[in-house]
Amino acid sequence: MKAVANYTEYPIGHEICVFGRGSWVIYGIGRRCATVYEPSMSCGPVNGAVVMHPDITNPGDSGAGWSRYSKAFGSHIGACEGQGIDSHFMKTYFFDDALDIDVRIFE
């Protein structure tokens, strides 16, 4: 990745793609795309999770990267309890705090 999305780069209807290991094993399909349905909601301990529609992920996709071209948008967290069947991911914006790490981009 050459860039990381900032907090405001998740507009409703924006297409973002994910490459999930579970989806690859189950269906032989790695990279799939969906659109932003809700740009910020609570999902268990994750505040600011992005809801994607339609649901394009499968068991085993957790941790997979959501991206568009060469920009990282987040990490797959699966479905949120009580939030329907859509796919959800944590924004890259929250990686620093959630993982206690610094996210850096190298070219």
| Residue 82's CATH number | 2.40.10.10
Going by C-alpha positions, the residue among 37, 42, 34 that lies closest to residue 58 is 34
Range of the domain at 21: 3-99
pLDDT tens readout for residues 38-86: 998 888 777 788 999 998 888 888 889 999 988 889 999 877 776 666 8
Going by C-alpha positions, the residue among 22, 9, 85, 17 that lies closest to residue 48 is 9
- HSE-CB for 57 with a 13 A CA cutoff: 30
* The pLDDT of residue 98: 63
Give domain status of residue 62, yes or no.
yes
Give domain status of residue 104, yes or no.
no
Give domain status of residue 85, yes or no.
yes
- Whole-model pTM: value is 0.81
Rg from Cα positions in the chain: 13
Give domain status of residue 37, yes or no.
yes
* The pLDDT of residue 105: 61
Tell me how many degrees the CA angle 59-90-53 measures, rounded to the nearest 5: 65
Mean pLDDT for the stretch of residues 16-37: 87
The domain tally of the chain equals 1
Give domain status of residue 67, yes or no.
yes
Backbone angles phi, psi at 16, to 5 degrees: -135, 145
